[in-house]
């Protein structure tokens, strides 16, 4: 099952991101993400969060339509995004896409990116998507398709990522060791329609990004 979580972060182009929602099997509105969904004319399957940043009118709109609510206290040990991951896992999700998970609060944006590790550990195919980026996390071999205008950055998030080899990129790697705290893997370019990356050990953040 493919689940999309819509958060309260920045979304400036609804048309560009709406396709991810329409291609999903289940929609989770995360806190103030209800406002984005209402503007897009899309009903979520559930509402989840502490709702401290949610517009009460948007919440009332969906509650009035019978959308199920999972409300949590403001003072808690998990962010609303992490609660959404827990709920998606409970529902049997296999793939999880986060929209509106990046924004002006760098702490929230970074924490959401690091939650890709939780999704990876749970066996979920996780991603964070906005108008300019698709962000993934991998601990084994993977492939990503070229998208117009995108560059691919490979960023180690463990102390070392060993045995990194690539095919289909302009600047290839061959059994390389990538070290945390360096920018070596940033802004590679596609040489073919698909880039293939192999990993022996460690974890990579993979970012498809366009200006």
Pick from 71, 104, 131: which residue ends a domain? 131
SS3 52: coil
> For residue range 160-173, what is the model confidence (pLDDT) as tens digits?
999 999 999 999 99
Pick from 93, 111, 131: which residue ends a domain? 131
Q: What is the mean pLDDT of each run of 10 residues along the chain (211 residues)?
A: 97 94 98 98 98 95 98 94 98 98 95 98 97 97 93 98 98 97 95 96 97 88
Asked if 120 and 48 sit in the same domain, the reply is: yes
**Following CA atoms 61, 65, 68, 69 in sequence, which dihedral angle do they give, to the nearest 10 degrees?**
20
Q: What are 151's strand-pairing partners?
A: 209
Asked if 74 and 144 sit in the same domain, the reply is: no
Asked if 41 and 84 sit in the same domain, the reply is: yes
Note the pTM of the prediction, 2 decimals.
0.95
Pick from 79, 106, 131: which residue ends a domain? 131
Structure tokens at 190: 């596609």
Asked if 42 and 145 sit in the same domain, the reply is: no
């Amino acid at each position: 099952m493919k689940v999309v979580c819509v958060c309260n972060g920045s979304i400036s182009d609804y048309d560009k991101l709406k396709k991810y929602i329409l291609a999903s099997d289940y929609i989770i509105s995360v806190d103030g993400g209800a406002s984005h969904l209402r503007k897009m004319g899309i009903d979520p399957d559930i509402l989840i969060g502490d709702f401290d940043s949610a517009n009460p009118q948007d919440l009332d709109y969906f509650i009035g339509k019978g959308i199920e609510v999972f409300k949590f206290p403001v003072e808690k040990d998990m962010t609303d995004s992490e609660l959404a991951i827990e709920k998606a896992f409970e529902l049997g999700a296999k793939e999880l896409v986060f929209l509106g998970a990046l924004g002006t609060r760098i702490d929230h944006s970074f924490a959401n990116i690091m939650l890709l590790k939780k999704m990876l550990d749970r066996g979920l195919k996780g991603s964070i998507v906005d108008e300019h980026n698709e962000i993934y996390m991998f601990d084994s071999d993977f492939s990503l398709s070229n998208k117009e205008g995108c560059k691919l950055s490979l960023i180690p998030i463990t102390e070392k990522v060993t045995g990194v080899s690539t095919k289909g990129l302009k600047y290839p790697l061959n059994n390389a060791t990538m070290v945390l705290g360096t920018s070596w893997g940033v802004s590679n370019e596609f040489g073919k329609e698909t880039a293939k990356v192999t990993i022996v050990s460690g974890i990579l953040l993979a970012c498809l990004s366009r200006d």
